[in-house]
Each structure stands twice: as structure tokens, then as C-alpha cells.
Structure 1
């Protein structure tokens, strides 16, 4: 578990190569211990998210399916929900809306079967609640261009996050702002993005900075609008 957490920290500090080495080692340790469930988690939660960051969408779905196959019969419904959500992210990035919709449905159904208050879940999956799933689904809808659903799921995810989770709330706000851009609500997107920027300015997070850069690219076609120019100036100032 500590090895996998080391990989997570490496991702958040902009060291994907180091993260990959940590994740491979965590997977080997899980295999050596005969813990197929945790090995599946490393594949679906850690390695697939790294593949997304590195721009390898086909690999995301492959890793998530490998997790499902390898841990079949060994995991709780909560873990199954996370595995399905990871696979859905891959299909969304590939633009396969039909398959993504089916797999998202499986994720929702699995989480509905999970025991309340984590029940018999191992500690490594206890965090995966309805808010976390909503965040995963918001990414899927955004990547498929389904702006209204992306915004709805992003708001649902934010509502489940405590104010103390600055990094996750900041990224969630960027996700909402991206959906607002897709809906051509540019001024509102800039306002939401500014709130995200303020939160992410309180933490060191390479991943958060990447989300803000992505939002700026989405706003680029509206670069002549005052709100967009102001957002860009503030982002440049914060990055300096």
C-alpha cells in the first residue's frame, strides 16, 4: 500500500516515470502476497489513471478489464464499481459512447450493491463512495461532449466533498468549468475556474496545474472575451 501511495504522490508532483515504477513494484508485491483484489486496484485505480494522464486511452480500458478478470470473485461491489468506472474512462476518451454508457451503468449498479459505511470493504477502497463515482462519471461525460450530464455529475461530486479537500475540490471545479465551456457558458466557466485556481493555489499539485491548463485551452476559442482574458492573466500570474 505504501508503494502505491508513493506512486500517487509521484503523479501529483509531476513525475510519471517514477510513479510507473512505484506502481509496477506495488503490483508485484500484491502478486507475491497472493492479493488479487489489491493487484486489481493497482491496475484500475493507479496504472489506468496514469495512462490517462499520459494520453493512452486504449491502455486505460485494457488495464481496467485486466483488473476485473484478475480479481474476479475476490472483490466487493465497491471495488467492482471502481474497476468499471476506470474502464468507462477509457471508452470515453476513445469516443465510444455506447460502450461507455453500458460500463458506467455497471459501475452505478455495483456501487448500489455496496454495503453502507464501507461494510466489509478493505481500507484501500473505502474512499470510493457515490461522490467519487460521480467525479469519474463527470470525466466520462465531459470527454464524450455530454456537457449537461458532465456538469450535473461534477456538481454531485463537489457536494460530497468536504471543504478541507482543497485539491480534489479544485479539480472538481475545473471539471465543472470545462462542462460550462462546452455549454458555451463562458463567463460562468471563468468564474468557476477562478474559484478552482484559488483553491489549487493553496496546494502543490502538478495534476491540478494540468487541469487548469486544460481549461485554459478549452477557453482559447473565446479569447477575445474579457472574462477569458482575465482568467488567463490570473493563471499566468499564479504560475509565475
Structure 2
């Protein structure tokens, strides 16, 4: 627990963020297996005057859900320090408070989910070493609480981080570990894991495996959707995103564009941060196949929403946009986009 508190305190301190962010993603990171983390953090100091119950657990769960909504709408630049402060000032005290065994395990599970989300926000800012530290703490807390599903979701998140950085073999190992660790996963989580396995397999050049995992993801999401509207972050839009990534990794840029457009149509009204990032990626691919005006239209829609998003990855897409569009400013559409970017984006981004 002390390691988690210190990590959160450092993350809250602006003077330390450069140091924290300097830690790069490590493909050699040792990932504790489920038997290794099971019960590892049971030695929390208890016996304080404070005693907690399920209302405190529910509050942490609800707070994490609210932070997650804010991240998807606006990005993690401002919400991550808020999450770290909540972890240090509230959750840490709850973890050390007197409680029944059931409540203590439930609180550790809730803290695991918060640690995972905070790591996810660090990824969004490009602080990959910091993200890995949060992810490992999430694994340890999941093991302490016996929460297989959060352990699995965290491994999946680590695989997403790895594949986005181009570490295909590591991403595949992590995705496979997530699949092996989730015997009780419902169809929606199973679909997410299979989609992630497909992306990682494609990045390693395993075409057969990639399409096999995509078929598994499609079958699982069909089962999940047939059960009606449920709470879950993996939906047909996310599946189409994975289809797009697989096709792109395997050299089918046109097919990847079609799948990304379908994902955008399905998720048009929600998740502004993701929408800005992925429209930026879509435009890059449209330009790659020579569709300059279509790319400009897509980039314009992303740029219009960019001011409402505080996200390092969204910033990266805008910087790339400026670099790619600058050589095409003799075209009226490209020139209009370039001038809009110079007006909207800070000078450091163009």
C-alpha cells in the first residue's frame, strides 16, 4: 500500500511529473502472475479508529466511474492528478481502516480499478513508465482482493499500451495472459480480449491468428449484444476499431479506413477524446491512399473538437496533421485546414 501512496503523491506533484514520465515503456517488465499476486497485499496495517463498510466501497466505485466518464469526454491531463489525489487522501485511508474481510477485499478491488484507470490516463499522456507502475499496482490489488476480472482487464490494458507503441510480441504475451486469467469473463470482456489478441497478432505478422481472433471477438460481441443494453466499454464500434487496426497492420489501408469509418459512425455521439484521436488516425490513412479532400474533412471535424479535449495522444494527432498537411497547402481544402490549425493550435504544435 505504501508504494501505491508514494506513486500517487508523486503523480500529484507537478515538479515530479517530468521524472515520472522519463521512465519509458519496458518490454522487460516482470508481470506478476495470478498465483503471485493472490494475497500479496494482505499485510495492510489495520486497527485504526476508522471503520468502513460497503457505503465507502460504493463511493470509491462511483467516483472511479465518474472519473472514467470525464476521461472519455475531455482526456486525462487534468483528471489523472485528481484521481491520484483521491487515491492518496481517501482510498489509502480506507485500505488501512478496520473492516470486515468482505469489505476489505471489496475495497481493494475498487482501489485496483482506480489504479488501472489512473494508469490508463498516464498512457493517454504518453507517460508510459508511470502507466506501467500504476498497472502493476492494479494487478497486485486485484490479486489481494481475489478479483480475477480486474486483473484480466489490467493485463488487457497493458497489451493495448504495448501494441500502440509497436511492441507486438509483448502485446501478444500480455493479451494471451489476459485471456488465460479470465475464466469467468463475460462475452463483452471476452470480445475485447479477442479483439486485442487480433491486433497484436496482426502486428507480429500472424494473419491467420489475427483473423481467427477477430472471428472470436465478433461471435462474443454478438452474444453480448443479444443480451440487450449492458454496461460495457466494448461494443460494435470498438470491434470495428480492432478490425481497422488488423487490416492496417496487414497492409490493407483501404479496408482499415472503411472499418474506422464504421466505428466512427457507431460511436458518433459519445467519447469525444476517442473520437478526436481516431478521426486523426483515420485522416492520416485517407491521405496515405491519396484522398486529400476526404482527409481534410475528417481532420477538420477532429480539430473542431480538439479544444475541448486535454489529451496527449489527441495533441500528437494534431501535430501530425500539421506536418502532413503543410506540403499540400496549394489545395484550397488543405490551405483552409492549415490556416484553421494555425489559429486554433498553440504555436508549439505547428
Q: TM-score range by the shorter chain?
A: 0.7 to 0.9
State whether residues 13 and 204 of structure 1, in contact with CA within 8 Å, keep that contact through their aligned partners in structure 2.
no
User: Deviations for 1:72-98, whole angstroms, at most 9, x for unmatched residues?
Assistant: x31111111100111111122233333
5+ long unaligned stretches in structure 2: 1-112
Q: Distance in 2 between matches of 1:29 and 1:156?
A: 37
1:1-240 equivalent positions in 2, closer than 5 A: 1-44=113-156, 46-71=157-182, 73-114=183-224, 115-117=226-228, 126-214=232-320, 219=324, 223=328, 226=331, 227-228=333-334, 231=337, 234-235=340-341, 238-240=345-347
State whether residues 163 and 169 of structure 1, in contact with CA within 8 Å, keep that contact through their aligned partners in structure 2.
no
State whether residues 326 and 338 of structure 2, in contact with CA within 8 Å, keep that contact through their aligned partners in structure 1.
no
State whether residues 166 and 203 of structure 2, in contact with CA within 8 Å, keep that contact through their aligned partners in structure 1.
no
Q: Distance in 1 between matches of 2:313 and 2:159?
A: 15
Q: Distance in 1 between matches of 2:176 and 2:318?
A: 30
Alpha-carbon distance change, 215 to 139 in structure 1, aligned in 2, over 3 angstroms? farther
Question: Residue 37 of structure 1: CA displacement?
Answer: 2.2
State whether residues 138 and 175 of structure 1, in contact with CA within 8 Å, keep that contact through their aligned partners in structure 2.
no
Q: What TM-score, normalized to structure 2?
A: 0.60
Alpha-carbon distance change, 61 to 222 in structure 1, aligned in 2, over 3 angstroms? farther
Alpha-carbon distance change, 3 to 176 in structure 1, aligned in 2, over 3 angstroms? same
State whether residues 202 and 246 of structure 2, in contact with CA within 8 Å, keep that contact through their aligned partners in structure 1.
yes
Question: What is aligned with 2:77?
Answer: none
State whether residues 115 and 138 of structure 2, in contact with CA within 8 Å, keep that contact through their aligned partners in structure 1.
yes
Greater Cα radius of gyration, structure 1 or 2: 2
Please give the secondary structure, in 2, of the residue aligned with 1:201.
helix
User: Deviations for 1:145-201, whole angstroms, at most 9, x for unmatched residues?
Assistant: 312321222122112224353212212322321332233212211221122122223
5+ long unaligned stretches in structure 1: none
Q: Distance in 1 between matches of 2:229 and 2:278?
A: 23
The two structures, once aligned, show a CA RMSD in angstroms of: 2.5
Q: Distance in 2 between matches of 1:128 and 1:134?
A: 10
Question: What is aligned with 2:81?
Answer: none
Alpha-carbon distance change, 88 to 235 in structure 1, aligned in 2, over 3 angstroms? farther
Alpha-carbon distance change, 225 to 84 in structure 1, aligned in 2, over 3 angstroms? farther
Alpha-carbon distance change, 48 to 215 in structure 1, aligned in 2, over 3 angstroms? farther
